[in-house]
Structure 1
Amino acid sequence: MVMPEKRFFIAGPKKPIEAVLTLYNGRKSKTATLIVAHGFRGSLEGGGRATLLANQVSPLLRVLRFNFSAGQMLSMQIQELKAVVNFARQEYDGDIFILGRSMGGATALLYTALHPGVKGLILWAVPGDLHKTFYNALGKLNYLKLCAGNDLLLNDERGKLLLTPQFLQEFDTYDLRSAIKAWRGALLVIHGETDEVVPLAEAKELFEAANEPKTLAVLQGADHSFTQHGSEAAKYVAKWLENALG
């Protein structure tokens, strides 16, 4: 069953941010908000998996998904997530939870290290080392091209995207392990056993560095995008949120 949605734009640091709200479908008079941040070259639809997730958890809380701007720079993504969180705090009652997928999870982790007040954090296939992740995601030749100071044009079934060397250089200014040590809320780390972009070992290292309360969910046979495991992942998230909401 597809839950009712509202589509709109949120004022961003440079331009409006496209967003969609899946309405709360539960019985409580007050609820929380789950903000979902997509991964590299992703979208608020998430290949259908983000929509599936939103429908799965809508009996528990409202779900706010949004699109990062096309530039993909990590510093800008942190600013855009901040704008979305501020919007949610102004418009909706209750606590804020954030789910970040892959690079969106790195963004969420870095945001929460700078801005306390988020109730819970869900890291979905999130890297512990961004350089290693993009070596795997872009391929050796493309990664080294960026490292050498050259622009990189990606042109495939996902469309066109121009990456500058600054895209990788920014990673050196952030420390994901320090960020997760600073996190003080409830944490769910969910990762695919056979993730080909971010090895499971990275997720386990982040998890070990995190404070309690924390939960690690490993999806057996799942790849980086949870291609065949979207429903299973959504059920894990729903159960965790149910416990976190009390």
Structure 2
Amino acid sequence: MMRERKVAIRNASGERLVGLETLPAAPSVKAVLLVHGFGVTKSEYGMFDTLAAHLAEAGFTAFRFDFSGCGESDGDYVGTTLSKQRDDLRDMLSFVRERGAGKVGILAQSFGTAVTLALSPEVDAMVLMGSIAHPKEVIAALFGKEYHPEGVSAARRSTRLGPRFWPDIARLDLIACVARIQCPKLFIHGSADDIVPLGEMEALFTAAPEPKERLILEGADHGLRPKREEMYRAAEQWFTRWL
């Protein structure tokens, strides 16, 4: 029977990052770290909760966590940057390894893919969903008329960003980042995604070295509805194959 427990670490800024560890019935040295998207939480509107359960049932330890300024974690999101989230991810990945994981995979959603690519961690497999090649343009489009690069930008989800976010993100070349990642990569994207265009994933897929595969879910939106069950199976099979 799988079990779940809350975990917490301190990031490089001394902020408390809160997560959940979902354990399989039998001890496992194979772990998958789930990386949430822009301005949301470790649950990803329930998608990561279900995915963690699927992975645990398949024999993996699944971790999901809130970036600083999100969910239960410390911090103020208005001061976040992609570089700060990259450092949060690095700290969380170190924690996963300290828990005894011998093989580690990452599954990232939306802006979480940008954070993952910016870190370019040495892991054993990746699943990148709704992946972003040009994050400044994609995130600016979310804000619309509320995009204020020299002040505070406010999105429709009540997500607010300060001025440090934009120059930081402009310095990153995610096409170059993905070209350096040698582990097996599965790109999953919804054909009806109206937040991150399909071309964003295609640009990353083209630049990524082998081994790589892509799965386009016909009719699925940015949250991969109504094809989540297909996504759960594909992610589980990918990690079973490579971890």
Alignment TM-score > 0.5, same fold: yes
TM-score (norm 2): 0.90
Aligned length: 232
What residue in structure 2 maps to residue 69 of structure 1? 68
2:200 maps to 202
Map 1:175-214; keep pairs closer than 5 Å: 175-214=173-212
After superposition, residues 212-227 of structure 1 pair within 5 angstroms as: 212-227=210-225
Q: CA RMSD in A?
A: 1.7
Residue pair 1:102, 1:124 contacting (<8 A) in 2 also: yes
SS of the equivalent of 1:69 reads coil
Partner of 2:164: helix, strand, or coil? helix
Q: Secondary structure at the match of 2:46?
A: helix
How far does the alpha carbon of each residue in 1:140-172 deviate from its partner, in whole angstroms, 9 at most, with x for none? x122x22xx122244x5x4x4431122122111
TM-superposed CA distance for 1:221, in Å, is 0.5
Unpaired runs of 5+ residues, structure 1, are: none
Aligned equivalent of 1:125, options 107, 126, 130: 130
Residue 16 of structure 1: aligned partner: 16
Task: State the 1:30 CA deviation.
Answer: 4.1
Q: How does 1:97-246 map to 2 (within 5 A)?
A: 97-112=105-120, 115=121, 117-139=122-144, 141-143=145-147, 145-146=148-149, 149-154=150-155, 158=157, 160-245=158-243
| CA-CA distance at 1:65 after TM superposition | 0.4
Name stretches of at least 5 consecutive residues in structure 2 with no aligned partner. Answer: 70-76
Q: Once the 2 structures are TM-superposed, how far is the Cα of residue 132 of structure 1 from its aligned partner? A: 2.1
Give CA deviations for 1:109-150 in whole Å, capped at 9, x if unaligned: 1112xx4x31111111011111221133222x122x22xx12
Contact 1:21–1:63 under 8 Å retained in 2: yes
Residue 100 of structure 2 corresponds to residue 92 of structure 1: yes
CA apart distance, 1:230? 2.3
TM-score by length of 1: 0.89
Q: What is the letter of the counterpart of residue 188 of structure 2? A: I
Identity %: 27
